[in-house]
Structure 1
């Protein structure tokens, strides 16, 4: 699909990867990019159009969709990561909180903007997932549950939105050099590199983006014995 002359919306666009997505879209020729954030005053990217959007609030999401009726690209980037262990006292609560943002927030945005995208010929819905959709580390198990669910949601949305002409793009990546992974000492990709790879995927009409080496390795290892999701990842 083309990006030149289009209008896009990015959730969680006030910093980190979301800001990198918004910047990359503008540089690729998007006429307007709505940079969505819970507090739009925190959006500082020159050229972006701040818009209030808390993905966990359905009324907030539909209000944003009513304003942003001109979009043909939506990037579901907003997400949270909590480090609670599964069997800890905080495990169940951490899962619920992450599902609320990483799964139901993505669904809220997809439901609200599906008619908008359809009205512009289909466009594209991009869901930021993770290599942790497929495998888990001891410290990421609750996050991995939410991302695995978001991957399943993405596959379901692809089926339902195909008749709308909407391209649904799943993006998998390992650790990215943002605030979310500030505590991680393992190698990280730059937000700009991930955003550039997604822009190229949109231009190429790709439906799945393996944005870095680790995501490609884990996907390739699905057929190995034992698979990465059984053997586990090494941080």
Structure 2
């Protein structure tokens, strides 16, 4: 388990939606500093929140940030993109871009910050998955989150020797701009942040934020046809 009080955190995609909620919840629980990234960061009124520019698809940018933020003890891989076009109709470049951000971007951050976390006692890595990691019908986004889930589970094994807690987070739809056009029940970003930070402090390997996610995980042992997800727009 990881102590949040006096920690230094990094939240990718940390100035909007879930990322903003994570940053606010971290400082509320006593984090000393939170780096929040965006491709075009805006200034913050809170001196504990440090906006920094980052494109997770750019390895040089990720490496530069790791060199700057050497005191980080908690990394939250939250940056992501959602392109809803069906796999058979989407522009292939959009599919590749989805994986480059949601999968390889998160892996770049994890690989680059792993030595930073090790140097600071182990710390924690949090990867944001989705109930759509397990549900068919979510096109490239769901496929990318399924891939990230698998990567997170492998990273948990690989990072265990250095004492890094690896937490995979699954949830349904959070009430953010990314899914504003989708008509379905949604949880608040603050609720997600509370659940994730509670999991961090309790030593959890996995956080299932809401009931829809718990039901979907339970259905994994059943027929694959039962894993289809219908999302209205």
Q: TM-score range by the shorter chain?
A: over 0.9
Paired with 2:95 and 2:45, the residues of 1 have a C-alpha distance of: 32
Verify the 8 A CA contact 1:35 1:43 in the aligned structure 2: no
Verify the 8 A CA contact 1:61 1:108 in the aligned structure 2: yes
5 Å matches for 1:55-204? Answer: 55-88=56-89, 90-137=90-137, 140-204=138-202
Q: Which runs of 5+ in 2 are unaligned?
A: none
Q: CA deviation at 1:161?
A: 0.4
Paired with 1:143 and 1:228, the residues of 2 have a C-alpha distance of: 19
Residue aligning to 1:13:
14
Q: CA deviation at 1:109?
A: 0.3
Paired with 1:45 and 1:108, the residues of 2 have a C-alpha distance of: 29
SS in 1 for 2:34: strand
Structure 1 stretch displaced more, 128-137 or 101-110: 128-137
Paired with 1:43 and 1:56, the residues of 2 have a C-alpha distance of: 23
Verify the 8 A CA contact 1:95 1:146 in the aligned structure 2: no
Q: What RMSD in Å do the two structures reach over aligned CA positions?
A: 1.3
Q: CA deviation at 1:226?
A: 5.1
Q: CA 1:56 to 1:219, structure 2 compared with 1: closer, same or farther past 3 Å?
A: same
User: TM-score by structure 1 length?
Assistant: 0.94
Verify the 8 A CA contact 1:218 1:228 in the aligned structure 2: no
* Residues 95-130 of structure 1 deviation map (CA, whole Å, 9 limit, x = unaligned): 211000000100110011000000111000000010
Residue aligning to 1:28:
29
Paired with 2:85 and 2:43, the residues of 1 have a C-alpha distance of: 29
User: TM-score by structure 2 length?
Assistant: 0.94
Paired with 2:52 and 2:147, the residues of 1 have a C-alpha distance of: 27
Paired with 1:43 and 1:93, the residues of 2 have a C-alpha distance of: 32
Q: CA 1:81 to 1:51, structure 2 compared with 1: closer, same or farther past 3 Å?
A: same
Is residue 217 of structure 1 aligned with residue 215 of structure 2?
A: yes
* Residues 56-83 of structure 1 deviation map (CA, whole Å, 9 limit, x = unaligned): 1000000000000001000000000001
Q: CA deviation at 1:223?
A: 2.0
Q: CA 1:43 to 1:82, structure 2 compared with 1: closer, same or farther past 3 Å?
A: farther
Q: Which runs of 5+ in 1 are unaligned?
A: none
Is residue 233 of structure 1 aligned with residue 229 of structure 2?
A: yes
Q: CA deviation at 1:234?
A: 3.5
Structure 1 stretch displaced more, 155-164 or 44-53: 44-53
